[in-house]
Amino acid sequence: MTVMEKMQEMLPDFSKNERRIADHILKYPYDLQRYRSINIADICGVSRSAVIRFCQKLGFTGFSDFQKALLSELEVSKPSAGSAGTTVLDVYQSCIEQLREKTDPAELAVIGDLTAHARRVLCYGQDHSRYSAQQMAFRLARNQVDATYTGDDSVIRSYEDILGSGDMLIIFSISGKKALAEICDAFRSRRVSIILFTMNVNTPLTSHTDHIFFLPSAAHSNSTHLLDDAICFYLAIEMVIESIQKKLK
């Protein structure tokens, strides 16, 4: 029995938190190529210890053991080179179509208007998301918006005493993790507008931000390639910049 089959068979025996983990991995098994146990915990809204217990319940010593076994199975079942299947361009084309179909033009216009007229904009992203936050700050500056970037927790804490009414915080987070809630609340208490760019439609930050731009995830396409979601972030950035340019004209 494969790891995936064993997870499917054990679904009725899992706790609520274990079921969240199983559902995510069954839906997006290739996530294990790029995530550690703490990342899976953030995405599923559970503790890291819950992820470890889940792996042990399946008969593994821990997450690394489970990760290695499942990825080995996926590698064996991967289509051979040259076989028919979804290409990288197909995946990103699908992301573009999803952006075209699912983005609310009115909401995009509101985000563009708020950003264009913000007194100051702070763009924040950690780990891989920092590149997108840097790009947003750069693109805003090119369009005469006072914008800067940070990915440092100590720096963003300092900005809690600097930014205020009329200012904006733009956060890039693939998982939209709950750990950002405290940061969001601190800025909102000073009447700073907050926009979140994320791929997680179930983000726990919904009540902690003013606007959320939900993006399709190339990494969740179940492609056999280890795809990057930064491209989706960059597309969204350009959509916001286009909206800003319309406002400024």
Task: Tell me the pLDDT tens digit for each residue of 102-152.
Answer: 999 999 999 999 999 999 999 999 888 999 999 999 999 999 999 999 999
User: Cα separation of 179 and 153, whole Å?
Assistant: 12
DSSP per position, 154-208: HHHHHHTTT--TT-EEEEE-SS--GGGHHHHHHHHTTT-EEEEEES-TT-TTGGG
Output the pLDDT for position 222. 60
Average pLDDT over residues 148-165: 94
Architecture per CATH, 88-248: 3-Layer(aba) Sandwich (3.40)
- 239, pLDDT greater than 80: yes
Of 74 and 155, the structure prediction assigns the larger pLDDT to: 155
pLDDT tens track for 68-103: 999 898 877 655 444 445 788 888 999 999 999 999
Domains 3-77 and 88-248 share a fold: no
Mean pLDDT, the chain, rounded, equals 89
Output the pLDDT for position 135. 97
Output the pLDDT for position 87. 83
Output the pLDDT for position 201. 82
Amino acid code (one letter) for 2: T
pLDDT tens track for 16-36: 999 999 998 988 887 787 788
And the tokens for 101?
Answer: 């179909």
Output the pLDDT for position 221. 66
Output the pLDDT for position 78. 58
And the tokens for 41?
Answer: 């915990």
Output the pLDDT for position 85. 55
Does 3-77 carry CATH code 3.40.50.720?
A: no
User: Cα separation of 208 and 188, whole Å?
Assistant: 8
User: Cα separation of 100 and 105, whole Å?
Assistant: 9
Output the pLDDT for position 83. 42
**Could you tell me the residue ranges of all domains in the chain?**
3-77, 88-248
Output the pLDDT for position 35. 82
Please tell me whether residue 122 adopts helix, strand or coil conformation. Answer: strand
Output the pLDDT for position 64. 93
Output the pLDDT for position 223. 59
Cβ atoms of 109 and 245 within 8 Å: the answer is: no
Helix residue ranges, H only, the chain: 3-10, 16-27, 37-44, 48-57, 63-77, 88-102, 105-116, 130-142, 153-159, 181-188, 230-248
Please tell me whether residue 124 adopts helix, strand or coil conformation. Answer: strand
Kindly report whether the global pTM for this prediction surpasses the value 0.85. no
Query: At a CB cut-off of 8 Å and minimum separation 6, what does 233 contact?
Result: 129, 132, 135, 172, 197, 215
